């Protein structure tokens, strides 16, 4: 699948410079892998985000999470909120496959860390989900343990966007949604740092859709002869990665700024929408077996956060648009066409 991002259509979001690949993997060490199941009514998959190249259980990263609207079944958020670190890859999949993904990630971590549950504590698997049941036969429970392992093993700096991996069966603003990513570059003390966003988009109504400030949803709905789009009962998962040195509290402040980016595409956060945001910084690694009573970490000057806030808003909005423009049209379980954005603009 060719991934022509929204900028390749002459639509530029914001004015902060993007990273080399305009992707979450512009943050050094971050990688993404997919497994896609796309045959007949089976349209689902798995996406894995690996936070760094090493053993993330032994070298944890400072992290934070934020729930905008809690209609969701994600796992691992309680411990992130309490301890402010992550210690596993992040797995994205469909709602009814969270259990399979959880057990599979546990087994993966046990295989790679013989000490877990033996000479040290247990592990906090992070699984996030959206409901792809309009397009995918979600009751079929087609995601298996092997798919989780394969998505992790497929992780690389280059990855596809659109209706791939966990995004295979997702709908965004009544059109085909899925996986999208974007990044921004900032200079702090003369050094370049990055902010990267990856989204799993599955929210919004067509008539509310806004593209780069233009409310084009009503026009598009008339173009495809849809009077009222699907009900707003979807969700969005956003993963933010950065190499800026931050505390967990600062990260939480930053990831809250994903919401303006989501809203700028026309979302108002419906009752049944599950919006979960996870952020992590690769700047400080926290050793699982640290022996010192005190440790030193580097964090940013609080008064310098505004530029990061703005970069987060821009990258989130663009990642959502990339998830739509990189997707291709498909059909739902009822045989109705789900248009992609590329086909309409």
**99 domain-assigned:** yes
pLDDT of the residue at 162: 98
Is a pLDDT exceeding 80 seen at residue 229?
A: no
CB 153: neighbour CB atoms within 10 A?
Answer: 12
Which tens digit of pLDDT belongs to each residue from 302-332? Answer: 999 999 999 999 999 999 999 999 999 999 9
**What is the pTM assigned to this prediction?**
0.97
* pLDDT score at 213: 96
Residue appearing with tokens 């971050």:
30
- Look at strands 126-130 and 90-94 and give their pairing: parallel
* 17: in domain: yes
The CATH number of whichever domain residue 312 belongs to comes to 3.60.70.12
Domain-located, residue 1: no
Do the domain assignments include residue 153? yes
In a domain, 181, yes or no: yes
User: Which residue's entry shows tokens 């992790």?
Assistant: 152
88-97 pLDDT, tens digit per residue, is 999 999 999 9
The length of the chain in residues reads: 345
Asked if 80 and 122 count as a contact pair (C-beta separation under 8 A), the reply is no
Flag whether pLDDT at 37 surpasses 70. Answer: yes
Structure tokens at 137: 């036969």
Q: Which domain holds residue 16?
A: 6-343
pLDDT at 231 over 80: no
Residue 49 domain-assigned (yes or no) = yes
CA atoms of 22 and 210, how far apart (whole Å): 21
Give the H/E segment covering residue 137.
none
Q: How many domains does the structure of the chain reveal?
A: 1
Which run of H or of E encompasses 93? strand 90-94
Our measurement of the distance from residue 90's CA atom to the centroid of its chain's CA atoms, rounded to an integer in Å, reads 9
In a domain, residue 268? The reply is: yes
């Amino acid at each position: 699948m060719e991934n022509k991002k929204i900028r390749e259509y002459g639509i530029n979001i914001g004015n902060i410079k993007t990273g080399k690949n305009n992707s979450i993997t512009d943050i050094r060490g971050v990688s993404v892998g997919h497994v896609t199941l796309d045959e007949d009514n089976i349209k689902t998959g798995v996406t894995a985000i690996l936070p760094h190249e090493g053993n993330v259980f032994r070298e944890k990263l400072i992290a934070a999470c934020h729930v905008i609207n809690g209609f969701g079944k994600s796992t691992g958020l309680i411990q992130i909120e309490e301890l402010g670190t992550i210690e596993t890859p992040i797995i994205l999949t469909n709602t009814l496959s969270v259990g399979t993904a959880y057990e599979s990630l546990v087994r993966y971590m046990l295989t790679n860390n013989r000490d877990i549950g033996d000479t040290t504590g247990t592990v906090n698997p992070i699984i996030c989900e959206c409901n792809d049941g309009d397009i995918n036969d979600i009751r079929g429970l087609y995601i298996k343990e092997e798919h989780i392992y394969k998505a992790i093993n497929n992780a690389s700096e280059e990855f596809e966007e659109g209706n791939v991996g966990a995004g295979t069966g997702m709908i965004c603003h009544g059109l085909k949604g899925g996986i999208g990513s974007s990044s921004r570059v900032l200079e702090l003390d003369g050094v370049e740092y990055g902010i990267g966003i990856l989204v799993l988009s599955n929210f919004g109504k067509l008539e509310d859709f806004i593209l780069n400030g233009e409310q084009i949803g009503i026009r598009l709905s008339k173009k495809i002869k849809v009077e009222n789009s699907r009900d707003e009962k979807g969700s969005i998962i956003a993963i933010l990665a950065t190499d800026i040195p931050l505390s967990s509290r600062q990260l939480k402040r930053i990831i809250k700024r994903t919401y303006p980016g989501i809203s700028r595409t026309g979302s108002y956060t419906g009752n049944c929408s599950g919006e979960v945001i996870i952020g992590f910084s690769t700047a400080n690694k926290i050793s699982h077996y640290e022996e010192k009573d005190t440790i030193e970490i580097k964090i940013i000057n609080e008064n310098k956060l505004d530029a990061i806030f703005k970069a987060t808003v821009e990258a989130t909005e663009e990642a959502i648009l990339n998830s739509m423009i990189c997707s291709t049209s498909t059909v739902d379980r009822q045989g109705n066409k789900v248009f992609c954005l590329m086909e309409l603009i």
